A and B are shown apart, each in its own frame.
Chain A
Amino acid sequence: QQQVKQSPQSLIVQKGGISIINCAYENTAFDYFPWYQQFPGKGPALLIAIRPDVSEKKEGRFTISFNKSAKQFSLHIMDSQPGDSATYFCAASMDSGAGSYQLTFGKGTKLSVIP
């Protein structure tokens, strides 16, 4: 059972446009929601993250919007650039005990920003 649903699977945006990726989760035990960016041949890199007691977090051109009641969160990339072309994963985390955490990932969104 997939616990984090991510859409769209792929996204094409023109340079300067806004990229929006959406995720929904089911398990209310999740308490930390990171987004990862992955370039070909690289591991996922933590991009931005949010806790459920906050409705929005902004870091530069990247913003997470979080709706706890709807169990949804989204990533907005403002002024999208060709260098933003990558695969983006949303994730949800919960404490798995002994100081470790279990991350459940969405399937990923391949973003292409065209000049």
Chain B
Amino acid sequence: ETGVTQTPRHLVMGMTNKKSLKCEQHLGHNAMYWYKQSAKKPLELMFVYSLEERVENNSVPSRFSPECPNSSHLFLHLHTLQPEDSALYLCASSPLAGIGEQFFGPGTRLTVL
């Protein structure tokens, strides 16, 4: 595997379910990010981790819970979501000594019924 991978690629869940999205980066980067991409809004930054510490949390509802156990893996735990949370969730990573470039995974298409 190369680059940034995400699983699952598609997820359908009910509002009472609990699920998790997984991201893995094979680039040796030290910062990882979760973004939300929905049809009518720009890509929205949700969470930032650097060296496994959360750096930023952009006022995301608590029904989204991130976890970064090491610099290669990032999770987004989901519970009691709303239909408006349906979107493409993208993971990205960047090198510690970089200039701001971020590399994205293919995303998880989430549908909340």
User: CB within 8 Å of B: which residues of A?
Assistant: 2, 4, 31-32, 34, 36, 41-46, 49, 51, 89, 91, 93-108
Contact = CB atoms under 8 A, between A and B. Distances in A.
Interface of B: 4, 6, 30-31, 33, 41-43, 45, 48-51, 53, 55-56, 90, 92, 94, 96-107
A46 B105 CA distance: 11
B42 A108 contact: yes
Contacts of A107: 41-42
Given A41-B106, A42-B106, A96 B55 contact: yes
B102 A51 contact: no
B31 to A, nearest CB: 4
A114 B108 CA distance: 30
A32 to B, nearest CB: 4
A31 B100 CA distance: 8
Contacts of B30: 99
A42 to B, nearest CB: 6
Nearest to A93: B100
A96 B42 contact: no
Nearest to B41: A107
6 contacts: A43-B4, A46-B101, A51-B99, A96-B48, A98-B31, A104-B45
B109 to A, nearest CB: 8
Given A43-B90, A99-B31, A32 B100 contact: yes
Contact of B42 (A4, A31, A98): A4
Given A99-B50, A101-B31, A34 B107 contact: no
Contacts of B43: 44, 89, 91, 103, 105
Most chain B Cβ neighbours within 10 Å, of A2, A93, A96, A98? A98
Contact of A105 (B42, B56, B96): B42
Contact of B31 (A44, A45, A100): A100
Contact of A46 (B50, B51, B102): B102
A50 to B, nearest CB: 11
A43 B90 CA distance: 7
